[in-house]
Structure formats: C-alpha cells, structure tokens
Structure 1
Amino acid sequence: MTSTTGARIEISGLTKRFGGFVAVDDLTFTVEPGRITGFLGPNGAGKTTTLRMLLDLVHPTSGSTRIDGVRYAEIERPFMVVGAALEATNFHPGRTGRDHLRVLATANGIPTARVDELLELTGIPAAARKRAGEYSLGMRQRLGLAAALLGDPKVLILDEPANGLDPEGIRWLRGFLRHLSDEGKTILVSSHMLQEVQQTADDIVIINNGKLIRSGTLAELSGGRGTVVRSSDLDSLAGALRIADVESAPGPDDTLIAETTDLRLVGDVALRAGLPIWELKAKQADLEELFFSLTEGTNRNLGDATYPDSAAPTERDALAGQEGANL
C-alpha cells in the first residue's frame, strides 16, 4: 500500500456542554500535514472530548471539526483517511492480535497481507497468535497503532500512545511517528509525557479548562531560540555582543541569553573581548516548564472559584454520563 499525503485538521469554535459543565469552550486550532502536533492539557482539560468530537463520537454543542475540509462522518471511506487509537482496551480479549486486525481488514476491504505488514512494522509478529486479553499494556498500544494504520490513512490520531511502553518502545515510537510524518501524514498526539512530546512534536497545542491556552512551535511558545552563555563578566559580554549586532538578556542561574543560534559567533566575540567562557550551548526550550507556567493553579479539577470544594465534574465523568444515556 502506498503512502499518501496528509490532510489538514481544523477545529473551529468547538464547544461541548454536559448539562452545566463546559468540557470544551470555543476551541480553535489547526493541525498541519507532514507535522507531529502534541495536544496537551491537565487531566479534565477537554482533550478526550475534543478528540471524540473530531471523530464524531460526541456531538458538539456548537462549532465544527473538519478533516480535509469535511466532517469525519461525511468521509466516504474514513478508515482510509483517518486512523485513530483513543484507548488500548478496544479488543476482544479472546481474539488473537492477528485475528483482530484481519477482522478490521476484511470489513474495510483491505488485503490480509497488510495485516502481516503492520504486525512487522509495529514489532509484534511474535505475539500475533496470542490472545489480546493476555497482552501487556505496551503490546496493546502497539496493536492499537497497527489497527489505526491498516488503511494507510492520511491522518493519525493517538491518545496517550506511549503509555505502557518501555524505554526502548518509547524510542521506537518516536522514530516511527517521525517516519510517518516525513511521509506527509498528519499526526495529532495527546499525551501527558511532556519530555517525550518535547522530543517528538513539531507543533504544540495546550488547552486548560476546555480553552485554548497557547499553540505554535515549541520555539515560538518558549520565546524563540538562542544561545546560553556563562562568563565572569556578563555585562561586558553583553556590550561586546551588542557591538556585533547581537542582542542579549540576562538568563537564569547567572547566564546570558544571546539572540542568535550561531555559537561560533558568540565564542569569537567573547575571545576578541578577552572574556573567558565557562559555558556555551544552544538554548533548549523546556516544555515542562512552559506547560506548568501556563496551567498551574488554574486546573478546575483542583478546585477554584468556579467549582469550590473540588466539586467540578471531570471530563471523563461527563463522557461516561453521556455514554450511559446513549445505551
């Protein structure tokens, strides 16, 4: 099966209310093809509800979601356009991993040869004949990813895909997702593993209490790139850099942040000024620091003025209530 280019995801003015609880509040963002977008937020921020509305599993109160310009429900062969793995428990426990994929393939007109191809790609061929109910969480994650990729979709939507994976598995997943994005696929990943998202994602969307907090590349969200330098006389170094048309500002822990990514330039300026350099490195954006600075103290699940005494319903409580009502 040949790879296809990705499709743009558009979330526009999306709102979902469960009674008096607003799970998602006027949310707008886009996910571009050929890029990995990390979808972040505290527990109960609205991530799961947003993904379910994107897949038409939950109907929005207002606003819209579009994949390649149309709603998911309007896509003629959705399995070939969108692959999704929202949880690692959606398997018949008595069915083998290979049979689970074969059922999905047959139902969607996909050759069974694709099943064996995906078992190899996701690293579970040895467990193919084992019952899914006996799989570890990490193995279930790999099986869910294989199922999502059966139709060679343009878009891949994953909810906490690294849960249950060992360090080797996480490293494998990082490289695998990068390979898929390099093919042009659109990848939206919801995760709590901030350090992993920092190493994997091209773009970041952060929500809290159902609202968009920030979105953009990690460099944009953290104030851009630069060079961290440590010396015995930061004021003199800042003056020497200014002469070389490089602006700078004091950084944490007695450092100077130069507004350039050219480490050699900074080193040459310091050498000409006769200043010793104790440290010289590229500025690394810290997603964890950024995330907590934007969300700490404002999570409705921790109790605030809107929901005193931590009485706020959680996003999953609201979803469970709706699903129960629909039974």
Structure 2
Amino acid sequence: MTAATTTTSTQGTPGGAHIEIRDLTKSFGSFTAVDNLSFEVQPGRITGFLGPNGAGKTTTLRMLLGLVHPTSGTARIDGRDYRDLDRPLSVVGSALEATNFHPGRSGRDHLRVIAAAGGLPDSRVDELLELTGIPAAARKRAGEYSMGMRQRLGLAAALLGDPRVLILDEPANGLDPEGIRWLRGFLRHLAGEGKTILVSSHLLQEVEQTVDDVVIIANGRLVRSGTMAELHGAPTTIVRTSDNDRLVGALRVADVMAAPGADGELVVETGDKRLVGDVALQAGVPVWELRDRRTDLEALFFQLTEGTNRNLGDGATSLPGATQPGATQPGATADAPTETDAISGREGANE
C-alpha cells in the first residue's frame, strides 16, 4: 500500500515522555517471568525490545500498561504509573496484538468506538485511516482483514490520541516488504517529532535498520542495552591485499593500527575506508577487498541469549520460534506456567 502523507495532529502534548523500568519483577507462583529488570527509554528515539520467546517481553509491556500488576519494582511513564495518567490516550498509544478486533465491525467503526471513549472526533478516525494507508478498507469488516491490514489498523488505534509514547509488540508481523519499509519510515517520522517509541520485535535485521537503542533480555533479565552504535562496537575496516606486511607498515606511518585476521585479511582499526584506500594506493599495494566490519545484531543476539531458556523449560533452546503456537511448552507445569500461560489466564492467582 502507498504511504499516506504524514500530518501532525494537535490532540496530544508535543514531545515524548520518559519511560523508566526499575527493578521490575513478576512471578506467577514458582515461575518468574520478569526478574529484577531495569532499563530506560528516551524521548525522540526508537528503542528495540528484544529477547527469545518466553523471555518476558510481553509481560513487561503489560506491566508498563497497567494490564499486569508487578510483584515488585516499578514501570513508569514520566514518573507515573499508567493508572495515574491524566487522559492516558493522549499520553500512551499501544498495539500489543493485531487480533483484538470485533470480526463483524468495520475498521472505521472499531476506531470510532475507541475515539468516542477518548472524547475524540470522527475526523481524527478518518485522518488515521488515511495516515496508515487503509482508507479503502475502512468500511470492510475487520474479520476480513489480512494480517498486514490488522497491523495498520492496530497502529491507527494506538495513534488516535496523538500520544507522546508509542508501544508496539511485533508491529511488522504480516507486513510485506513495502509495508515494512513504510513502517520504518513512519516510526522514524514519529521519533523525529519527539515521540518515545518502544518496539518489541523478533525481526532482527529490520530492528537493526530501524531503531536507535536496543534492550535485550533473556529469562526475564537484562543481558545488554545501549545504542546501536555501541552494540556495533568500534569502527573497523577489513582489507584484503597481496602484501599484508607492506600495508601494515604504511598504515602505521599514517598512525593507523592493523593486524592480520583469521582468514588472511587485515583488520584495520578505523572506519575511514577512504584513508585506508589512499594509504594503500600511495604504498603501491593492490586492494582486493575493502569493507566495514561491525558486530552483527543477529550474531550478538544469539551470543547473548544462547543456551537453555528456563521460561520454555529445561529442554528448550532460547532460539526465537523454538515453541510453535499451540504447542505444549516443554517443562511447563501447573506450578511453573509459561509466560503466555501466565499473562493469559494466571494473572492475580499468586499475588
């Protein structure tokens, strides 16, 4: 679908809001879905919230939105719990599922119900249908929507109040490549307006192209956080040539350090490929390959989360997709429910 021209509404307060997760824990009996988790999300930035299936992402987002009560710790937006926010629709917009629509209700009517509850005019509904690229499907029943259209409808619902904070759970699921590209540009535009955006996703390559900051959790605990630049590490250049020693010496004269890599290449401690190429040319050294080297987010993710995922049982790995929808999760018992079991039917049983 073609992206609609983005317009700015005056419904909400300009700028984003600071999200602070502090020492957050949620236990369901003997099962700990979130374990002493702390991180922050800054306004004007897109933060990717990553972790294997069962890592505690959804439970964390639900606690932030007041849908699940923490066992301990806090999840606050501008220093306040969600339940204490004035006009929450103008502060926080969220889309945790793309299936919570009445199948017999049109997409436009779904948005009108939410708008009416928030005191918003129908004109805002039409604006969001245009903004998210689904005006032609507005009068179609939501039960006939494709997964990608449901994602766009969920995003439209989240944006009705022009919120300062946007919380999205797997927003790219079901989108085709054009839709994913549209979503990336749309979120970047919203962040440029100063909004605070927290996105949970398992599409690591897409996250790498979209977000500014990353929070990675496993077994309910924080394993890594930082900017994408920090996660990628110091700028490094890979060079292949027929005379490593000569190029190393020439680079040393230019005050650039280099050392042989594992496959015969040179690893140069700079991200300035033009400098490396100029030095090689002046030294008369042929260059066969010249490219950036940085830490791959996918490789880093698996490195940080590899091993047994206790939330999926002792016999399961932490790889995303290790448990298929509807499958019995290994090791799950009445005393140790999975994260999905806990948030869907066990909330409040052990508080």
TM-score above 0.5 = yes
What residue in structure 2 maps to residue 150 of structure 1? Answer: 160
* 5+ residue gaps, structure 2: 1-8, 317-328
User: Aligned partner of 1:279: which letter?
Assistant: E
Equivalent pair of 1:222/1:290 in contact (CA under 8 Å): no
Partner residue, 1:180: 190
The alignment covers a number of residue pairs equal to: 323
Deviation at 1:267, TM superposition (A): 0.8
Aligned partner of 2:91 in structure 1 is 81
Quote the offset at 1:92 in angstroms. 1.2
Corresponding position of 1:5: 15
Task: Report if the CA contact (8 A) 1:10-1:66 is conserved.
Answer: yes
Cα deviations across residues 175-225 of structure 1 (Å, max 9, x unaligned)?
Answer: 111111111111100001111101111111100000100001122123232
Equivalent position of 2:144 in the other structure: 134
Residue matched to 1:43: 53
* Equivalent residue in structure 2 for 1:292, among 282, 302, 316: 302
Measured in 2, the distance between the counterparts of 1:80 and 1:200 equals 24
CA contact (8 A) 1:37 1:189 kept: yes
1:93 counterpart SS class: coil
| Residue 194 of structure 1, aligned match among 182, 200, 204 | 204
The answer to whether residue 67 in structure 2 is matched with residue 57 in structure 1 is yes
Q: Give 1:239 shift.
A: 3.2
Distance 1:254 1:84 in 2: 50
Distance 2:256 2:210 in 1: 30
Match of 2:326 in 1: none
Deviation readout 1:16-57 (Å, 9 max, x if unpaired): 111001111110111111111110000000000000011111
Question: 1: distance between equivalents of 2:262 and 2:105?
Answer: 55
Secondary structure of 1:7's counterpart equals coil
CA distance in 2, matches of 1:113, 1:249: 62
Q: After superposing the two structures, state which structure 1 stretch, 238-247 or 152-161, moved more.
A: 238-247
Q: Give the Cα separation in 2 of the matches to 1:299 and 1:315.
A: 12
Q: CA deviation at 1:133?
A: 1.1
The answer to whether residue 321 in structure 2 is matched with residue 311 in structure 1 is no
* TM-aligned CA deviation for residue 11 of structure 1: 0.5
Give the whole-Å Cα distance in 1 for the aligned partners of 2:262 and 2:176. 34
Structure 1 spans left out of the alignment, 5+ residues? none
> How does 1:167-246 map onto structure 2 within 5 Å?
167-246=177-256
* Superposition CA RMSD, Å: 2.0
Matched residue SS, 1:146: helix
The superposition leaves residues 220-246 of structure 1 with CA deviations (integer Å, 9 ceiling, x where unpaired) of 123232322222233432333232222
Aligned equivalents of 1:118, 1:257: Cα separation in 2: 49
Instruction: Quote the Cα distance in structure 2 between the aligned partners of 1:168 and 1:251.
Output: 38
Report which stretch shifted further, 246-255 or 26-35: 246-255
- The answer to whether residue 34 in structure 2 is matched with residue 14 in structure 1 is no
In structure 2, do the counterparts of structure 1 residues 244 and 108 end up closer, same or farther at CA, with 3 Å as the change threshold? same
- Among residues 101, 108, 112, which one is paired with 1:98 in the alignment? 108
Give the whole-Å Cα distance in 1 for the aligned partners of 2:35 and 2:105: 40
Shift of 1:303: 2.1
1:109 aligns with 2:119: yes
Amino acid at match of 1:233: D
Instruction: Read off the aligned partner of 2:339 and give its amino acid letter.
Output: E
In 1: Cα distance, 2:235 partner to 2:48 partner = 19
CA deviation digits over 1:238-295, x for unaligned, max 9?
3332322223344464333322222111111112222111111233441111111111
CA contact (8 A) 2:233 2:294 kept: no
Change (3 A) 1:53 1:248: farther
Cα drift, residue 296 of structure 1: 1.5
Q: Once the two structures are aligned, what percentage of the paired residues are identical?
A: 74
Amino acid at match of 2:51: G
Q: 2:41 aligns with which of 5, 22, 31?
A: 31
Determine the C-alpha separation between the residues in 1 that align with 2:167 and 2:130: 21
Contact 1:204 1:215 in 2 (8 A): yes
Note if contact 1:219-1:225 (Cα within 8 Å) is conserved in structure 2.
Answer: no
- 1:119 partner letter: L
User: TM-score with structure 1 length normalisation?
Assistant: 0.93
AA matched with 1:54: L
Describe the SS at the equivalent of 1:16.
Answer: strand
Residues of 1 paired with 2:99 and 2:244: CA distance? 55
* Cα 1:110/1:40, change in 2 over 3 Å: same
Match of 2:320 in 1: none
- The 1:296–1:235 alpha-carbon spacing in structure 2 relative to 1, beyond 3 Å, is farther
Q: 1:100 to 1:251 in 2, by over 3 A?
A: farther
Question: Secondary structure at 2:97's aligned position in 1?
Answer: coil
